[in-house]
Chain A
């Protein structure tokens, strides 16, 4: 029964995903190929990892526009650490998740303790962190990542032989996504704090009355999001083999678009991991389709904006409709 309901809830967007995939593959047969799919996976891993954190934030009714700055900063720190401290993989991951968590913690404290609205707090953080990064790096690329780390980034989990001698495979970075999804699933589904995330998104006052501590939950959520961004930064650096301080300009819009596309409500309380993953897939397929169909890249920005406005409009109209249908007076 449970899984049946879940399927029904996410069914519309799954159907949209299928329909759009068919349209694109008709327009360009290169879409429905293993190579293209693996390519989509590789280039959107980072987005998918970060969508998990954004989902949690949005479940509490918050939003985080600083994710692009945070991942840039973490990538810079990771690059520096690789070049100057150690190319040990575990050490690198540790440095990355730690610095991501600290930055997330900072956001969480601003929002929970100083009661700054999430959009304002993270907008401020975004600017501060980005400014610092550009000051330190001068906006130039960091190259010279150690070979050992680059070799790691080239590894494949499973390889599929192709006819012409080349080998396609699932990139090693897929493991980072797996960890992110499993960790998010575990927290949301199996822990009391995870249910608290849903509870404060649904009715904050009642959650508090019930004994949840909303402030702590919110700080935890932003810190965990920072942790995931740390993972994403390592995956990104190992894929790109260099650090570009400008690589993530405007990336927060893509993360938010993918998550709202997956059915998460900006008002908090509603959203699922499955839905978000489908939302990310749909988002990537649309983007990929635009490229395959040789549509100019500025269209991508327009599409991202339209997706956000469209998804949220549906959310808001539904809410308005339920409000309106609420009976105010029991008429005799």
Chain B
């Protein structure tokens, strides 16, 4: 192992209302591949953004870089300190040539007025040679495969003399072969003395390539371990040891099928999805972000129709090719991002709740019956306990929990048989979360079938009767949510 390249001490980051990182401290050596591990929301992305200077950490922490001690980095300092991040989108230019993508940054940094095409060619050729790959320098980047674009991004960081290369889930859109090639390249960079910080959710990959693991959980530093100090199971239990703060509802086995999904497949989204949702049941759909959960839900709701497969509702085949079909058939979908997709924030509670009901409220005249609308709104606000109880209130002024209730009311107003909720408690406080949980349970008791997508395992275990675990576009397994632990689920999801 080489010497310490960068050391973090007491790094914290607070966003309004949320502590994203708390007292993180660890170091990365040159010539090592260091894995950064944690569940969704553990704080990995925030940490990367601090290292690349996009975020400034709270004061009180230290970043020690090549003997220099600083409180925070700016993007330029990060660049000059030779820290390069390869994000999942690569931050490249699809319309420029491979050569320019690799070497243009040099000209900008040198404040050149004129382009030195010969120098660019030399720099990019050098960088690609170091990686041991050959690419036509004049190819337009957008014409290359994702894997090759990624290599161009790595070559660019080499051209910038990066000493710490941060790879954010670099294998997520690569084939097995391409992953192997990438790992070869990572190894050769490591042997040249570069430090690599590697983020991945795939356990086999982590063990295949990493020298050290640093584990984060809920924004806290859990520990740094050598690759020989841990096995898969220990790693998973360190990642997921999250406390459960929720009321656990009793689980029921239901038998009357409501919705059957048979052989759902969509290229590049998911494959061969099969499950049954019963009447009065809450079915959890979990897995890592990017496992295809939302894509499946959207397919059922007609937002992202599947290429093949059938959907049976109450035993009858239905086809949801648009959300309109789905609503008519008796589906409701509460999207993940309630602020962008679920609500018209600048409008009142009344306007929002009645939005799905405009047809029913207007009748033959095509004009909205305002009296009926008021009635409907009052009804739902009482039933859903939305506070303050003022239908004219603009929804942007409500708390997160109450906003979520408005969204759910809006979708319940259509009298659905199946309710799909995507991360319903994201970004709302514990009290409001429990309220939403209670609400979903009550709805299920009344016979509604509910599919809940959540990354938060304690939440799934608290309210779902069964859980289906997805990984890379497939349903890997199903559990009945009794006597199982977070580890059981996570070991399948990874």
Q: Please tell me if the beta carbons of B91 and A206 are within 8 angstroms of each other in the complex.
A: yes
Distance of A327 Cα from B269 Cα, bound (Å): 7
A331 within 8 A of B: yes
The closest CB in chain A to the CB of B140 belongs to A5
B88-146: which residues lie under 8 A (CB-CB) from chain A?
91-96, 100, 104-105, 107-109, 112-115, 136, 138, 142, 146
Interface segment, one of B21-29, B42-50, B339-347, B466-474 = B466-474
Measured in the bound complex, the distance between the Cα atoms of B53 and A209 in whole Å is: 11
Among candidates B107, B268, B271, residue contacting A332 with C-beta atoms closer than 8 Å: B271
**Which applies to chain A's interface (DSSP): helix, strand, loop or mixed?**
helix
Contacts of A325 in B (CB 8 A): 268
Q: Residues of B contacting A196 with CB < 8 Å?
A: 108
State the Cβ distance, A183 to closest chain B Cβ, in Å. Answer: 14
Judge whether B108 and A1 touch: CB under 8 Å: no
Q: How far is the CB of B86 from chain A (nearest CB, A)?
A: 12
Do A194 and B115 have beta carbons less than 8 Å apart? yes
Interface size class of B (residues with CB under 8 A): 35 or more
Minimum distance in angstroms from A56 CB to a CB of chain B? 14
- Asked whether, in the complex, the Cβ of A326 is within 8 Å of the Cβ of B268, the reply is yes
* Complex Cα–Cα for A322 and B141 (A): 14
Q: Mark A277-294, 1 if CB is under 8 A from B, else 0.
A: 000000000000000000
- Cβ contacts under 8 Å, A270 to chain B: 95
Interface pair A205/B91, CB less than 8 Å apart? yes
Assess the B138–A329 pair: CB atoms within 8 A: no
Contact status A269-B95, CB under 8 Å: yes
A328 and B172 CA atoms in complex are apart in Å by 10
Cβ contacts under 8 Å, A192 to chain B: 104, 107-108, 112-115
> By the criterion CB–CB under 8 Å, are A195 and B138 in contact?
no
Give the distance in Å from the alpha carbon of A5 to the alpha carbon of B109 in the complex: 29
A146 proximity list for chain B (CB < 8 A): none
Interface membership of A2, Cβ < 8 A: yes
Task: With a 10 A CB-CB cut-off, give which of B91, B96, B108, B292 has the most chain A CB atoms.
Answer: B108
Bound CA span A192–B116, Å: 9
Residues of B within 8 A of A202 (CB): 93-96
In the complex, are the beta carbons of B473 and A332 less than 8 A apart? yes
**Contact partners of A269 in chain B: CB under 8 A:** 93-95
A88 contacts B by Cβ under 8 Å: no
Residue contact B105 to A332, C-beta cutoff 8 Å: no
Complex CA gap A260/B474 in Å reads 43
CA of A240 to CA of B93 in the docked complex: distance in angstroms?
A: 44
What separation, in Å, do the CA atoms of A289 and B114 have in the docked complex? 42
Compute how far the CA of A325 lies from the CA of B145 in the bound complex, rounded to whole angstroms: 12
Chain A 250-287, CB within 8 Å of chain B: the 1/0 string? 00000000000000000001100000000000000000
B291 is an interface residue with CB less than 8 A from chain A: yes
Q: B411 at the A/B interface (Cβ < 8 Å)?
A: no
- Specify the chain B residue showing the minimal Cβ separation from A196: B108
Closest B residue by C-beta to A270:
B95
Instruction: Please give me the residue from chain B that is nearest to A6 by CB atom.
Output: B138
CB distance from B450 to the nearest CB of A (A): 23
- A79 → B minimal CB distance (Å): 36
The verdict on B71 contacting chain A, using a C-beta distance below 8 Å, is: no
Question: How far apart sit A326 and B267, CA to CA, in the bound complex (Å)?
Answer: 10
Which B residues lie within 8 Å of A327 (CB)?
146, 173, 267-268
Q: Given the complex, which residues of A lie within 8 Å of B290, measured CB to CB?
A: 329
A299 to B322, CA, bound (A): 40
Asked if A199 is at the interface (CB within 8 A of a chain B CB), the reply is: yes
CB distance from A127 to the nearest CB of B (A): 30
A331 close to B269 (CB less than 8 A):
yes
A189 CA to B114 CA, complexed, in Å: 9
Assembled-state Cα–Cα distance A330/B88 (Å) = 13
B65 in the interface (beta carbon within 8 A): no
Q: How far is the CB of A268 from chain B (nearest CB, A)?
A: 8
A150 within 8 A of B: no
Interface CB pairs A-B, < 8 A, 30: A189-B115, A190-B114, A190-B115, A191-B113, A192-B115, A195-B96, A199-B104, A201-B95, A203-B92, A203-B93, A205-B91, A206-B91, A206-B93, A209-B75, A209-B91, A211-B108, A211-B109, A322-B142, A326-B268, A328-B269, A329-B268, A329-B473, A330-B174, A330-B473, A331-B267, A331-B270, A331-B472, A331-B473, A331-B474, A332-B472
Closest 9 CB pairs of A and B: A331-B473, A327-B268, A269-B95, A202-B95, A202-B93, A332-B472, A329-B292, A211-B108, A206-B91
Other CB < 8 Å A-B pairs besides A193-B113, A195-B104, 7 of them? A195-B107, A195-B115, A199-B96, A203-B92, A328-B268, A330-B472, A331-B271
